[in-house]
Amino acid sequence: MKESNRKVLIAGNWKMNKTVKETEDFVYELKNKVNNTKTEVLLCVPFLSLKKALDESQNSKIKIAAQNCHFKESGAFTGEVSVLMLKDLGIYNVLLGHSERRQYFNETDYNINLKLKAALKENFTAIVCVGETLEERKSNITNEIISIQIKNCLKDISSEDMKNVIIAYEPIWAIGTGETASKEQAQLVCKNIRGVLENLFDFETANNVLILYGGSVKKENIKELLEEKDIDGALIGGASLDVENFNDIIEIAEKI
């Protein structure tokens, strides 16, 4: 049993995977499996599949999120999607600052913060990702790096806003590599994140924020990770692409 009153959230991050039809089939299959679960279920799907995923998930336990958004409401930003456009579809969840966006699309804490403000202004829930590189871990500066990312990404965010913010700790060296942080390593960083949040806001705010772990989460390691005090769920890439596999993870989470 988890000691805290926080919910458990299992989020899938599909990245650039699945066609619209594949999305429809996946959500159709999953929704019948998860309808009576107490675990929260969220799928971060590609922009083109958002509408289909949302329609298919109506009246089910599954929530749908975008994997990114722009910080401006509209304008000359070729190839971008605004928060208002997502809201128009009925989407109210967004993933921000994933390390792949930081690495391949030059996202910085600064523009993640702008995106977060834009999303919160429209009553979205945002998952903000942070994580250290292997070099940073080896140099023993993980907690410093994560603290800086948290402070920068949450600049000018109020404790009221924090009710709609989820933090995902994803060590970059563990993403898609098959290498997971040990439960002790993950717990230590998540605990530190909660401490940083307490300093920035207050005990209650920090205590209520959901903190997810991400990086090669699979059914073999989900249990031990979720048993840790400060880990409230998982952000799952590869293992979220197969519906049976993803559902197995949710079922394990259900028993924690």
Q: Does 130 bind ligand PGA (CB under 6 A)?
A: no
Q: Does 13 bind ligand PGA (CB under 6 A)?
A: yes
Report the catalytic residues: 98, 170
Q: Does 175 bind ligand PGA (CB under 6 A)?
A: yes
Q: In a 10 Å sphere around its CB, with 0-12 CB exposed, 13-18 middle and 19+ buried, how is residue 32 labelled?
A: exposed
User: Tokens in use for 88?
Assistant: 């128009």
Q: Does 65 bind ligand PGA (CB under 6 A)?
A: no
Distance of alpha carbon 228 from alpha carbon 223, whole angstroms: 9
Question: Could you tell me if 242 and 236 are in contact, meaning their C-beta atoms sit under 8 angstroms apart?
Answer: no
The only residue of 162, 173, 238, 249 in contact with ligand PGA, by rule CB under 6 A: 238
Q: Does 228 bind ligand PGA (CB under 6 A)?
A: no
| Candidate ranges 50-58, 85-93, 201-209, 229-237; the one touching ligand PGA (CB under 6 A) | 229-237
Question: Could you tell me if 159 and 205 are in contact, meaning their C-beta atoms sit under 8 angstroms apart?
Answer: yes
Name the minimum Å distance from CB 203 to ligand PGA.
Answer: 29
Locate the DSSP E strands across the chain.
Answer: 9-13, 40-44, 62-65, 93-96, 125-130, 165-169, 211-214, 233-236
The only residue of 161, 170, 230, 232 in contact with ligand PGA, by rule CB under 6 A: 170
Query: In the complex, which residues of this chain contact ligand PGA (CB under 6 A)?
Result: 13, 170, 175-176, 214-217, 235-239
